[in-house]
Amino acid sequence: MQYRRPRGVNDITPAEVGRWQRAETLYRDLCRRFAYQEIRTPIFEQTELFVRAIGEETDLVNKEMYTFQDRGGRSLTLRAEGTAPVVRAFLEDSLQGQDRERLVKLFYLAPIFRYERPQAGRYRQHHQAGAEALGSANPALDAEIMALATSFYHGLGITELTLLLNSVGCPVCRPGHLQQLKAAVAPRLREMCGDCQRRFDINPLRLLDCKRATCQEVTANAPKMTDLLCEDCGTHFEGVQSALREIGIDWFTLEPRLVRGLDYYTQTAFEFRAPGLGAQDSIGGGGRYDGLVREFGGPPTPAVGIGMGLERVLIAQEAAEAAAETGALPALREGVFVAALGEQAWEPALRLLQELRQAGQVAEVDYRRRSMRAQLSFADKEGFRWAAILGEDELREENVTLRNLETGEQESVKAAKLGDRLTKPDSQ
């Protein structure tokens, strides 16, 4: 029997993992510069955590979660999104300590599991880069989260971006908007899809999020939330826009239909889009969730966050490279391949291999003991920068022949000095 991976999941092969590592390294460095600290939460949580945070009537809870019972009969769910586990940890692990005014800034890189129809960049297991800031209602913090994401995208060469921005209000002003929205839609409700007819009573804000053309036409002239914001929400929304302009992100577009897919959002909602992904062109989004900590039993705590799907980000990066006619980034050559010629050179080659690794070098040897030509061909194909050749002459003179596999140039180096030679600037 030949086993195959389940539908909707992918292997990240050695040929692809370098691109992933560069993106993850860039993200970690940016988070460090923005003063966000890494958090790692469990891969599964109590099911109720997601139901309460996301909303019982959302598509994610109703259709897409991977939920199971453990042997103790407890209902558990694989991580369906990143924010709820972080908020749970924020409370359970007392990350704010005794200082209720302390701003806690966290980031994560984590797999997310959703039973969705697989398509480009959207898989049943995908990977998310996220950031959450808990403890401040300042609209400049919303702008900072968007600046962090923008720096990440730009660092990967994704510069053709669209940033959509909206406010979904708060418990004070949102009920009035929902009432007017339902009144506007009710006469034509039967023209809408089954999902929208179901949402009309239980989650009417999601009517604006439907992608079907007929439903969008019905809601095209519906009242805009931004026209009905209370004073606090209106002031906050203006503050977000002002802060974005102040830090040079003045290319955002106001989009009154943007509501995001999760129930916990309040006030700010935003989404980044990029070309190269087809109709589903979102590469990240988030917003403010000032009521979620309290919903989980904690004190009132304002918060804002973002999640970015790495698969979609990397597809957008490839599209940006293709548009710039640069192609994929060339693989960086690194490391030393120790090539042993003859039986006498085998054990000295193993010693040299260990010394190089202990000195911090990427190093490998041919355990198949093939010909020198085959060894050097393999080393070149695998992307090594150097070949350290050991044969009878080298052993007799206690030297190593060091060949640059990019240029073909080679030189004789004392074996004891090889590590020093490899760290010289002209060897990088």
Tens of pLDDT, residue by residue over 67-77, are: 999 999 999 99
Same domain, 28 and 157: yes
User: Do 309 and 340 fall within a single domain?
Assistant: no
pLDDT surpassing 80 at residue 55? no
Q: In this predicted structure, what is the pLDDT of residue 425?
A: 55
Q: Looking at the structure, tell me whether residues 155 and 292 fall in a common domain.
A: yes
Assign residue 125 the CATH number of its domain.
3.30.930.10
Residue 207 lies in a domain: no
Residue 392 sits in a domain of what CATH number? Answer: 3.40.50.800
179 located within any domain: no
Burial of 428 (0-12, 13-18, 19+ CB in 10 A): exposed
**How sure is the predictor about 17, in pLDDT bands with cuts at 50, 70 and 90?**
very high
pLDDT at 328 > cutoff 60: no
pLDDT tens per residue, range 78-127: 999 999 999 999 999 999 988 777 899 999 999 999 998 887 778 999 99
Q: Are residues 316 and 391 in the same domain?
A: no
Q: Are 167 and 133 members of one domain?
A: yes
Question: What radius of gyration, in Å, describes the C-alpha atoms of the chain?
Answer: 27
Residues 359 and 269 in one domain: no
- How far apart CA 406 and CA 333 sit, in angstroms, is 8
Classify residue 329: in a domain, yes or no. Answer: no
**182-208: average pLDDT:** 82
- Any domain includes 202: no
- How high is the mean pLDDT of the chain? 89
For residues 416 and 309, membership in a common domain is answered with no
Domain final residue, candidates 323, 346, 379: 323
Report whether pLDDT(388) > 90: yes
Look at residue 216 and tell me if it is in a domain.
Answer: no
Confidence grade of residue 375 (pLDDT, cut at 50, 70, 90):
very high
Q: Would you state the pLDDT for residue 134?
A: 96
Backbone angles phi, psi at 33, to 5 degrees: -70, -30
287's enclosing H/E stretch is strand 282-288
Q: Does residue 318 sit in the same domain as residue 386?
A: no
Q: How confident is the model at residue 35 (pLDDT cuts 50, 70, 90)?
A: very high
Reduced to 3 states (helix: H, G, I; strand: E, B; else coil), residue 42 is: coil
What is the share, in percent, of the chain residues with pLDDT greater than 90?
61
Q: Which of 151, 227, 140, 222 is nearest to 188 (CA)?
A: 222
Q: Are residues 264 and 342 in the same domain?
A: no
Q: Domain count for the chain, please give it.
A: 2
Tens of pLDDT along 242-257?
999 999 999 999 998 8
Residue among 246, 250, 261, 251 nearest 195 (CA): 261
Query: Are both 412 and 275 inside the same structural domain?
Result: no
Residues 283, 370, single domain; the answer is: no
Does residue 223 sit within a domain? no
Query: What integer pLDDT is reported at residue 327 of this predicted model?
Result: 45
Global pTM value: 0.83
Q: Which domain holds residue 377?
A: 336-422
Of 293, 323, 353, which residue sits at a domain end? 323
pLDDT band at 217 (very low <50, low <70, confident <90, very high): confident
Same domain, yes or no: 397 and 257:
no
Last residue of a domain, one of 292, 323, 354: 323
pLDDT value of residue 70: 95
Question: Beta strand 410-414 with 399-404: parallel, antiparallel or unpaired?
Answer: antiparallel
pLDDT beyond 90 at 49: yes
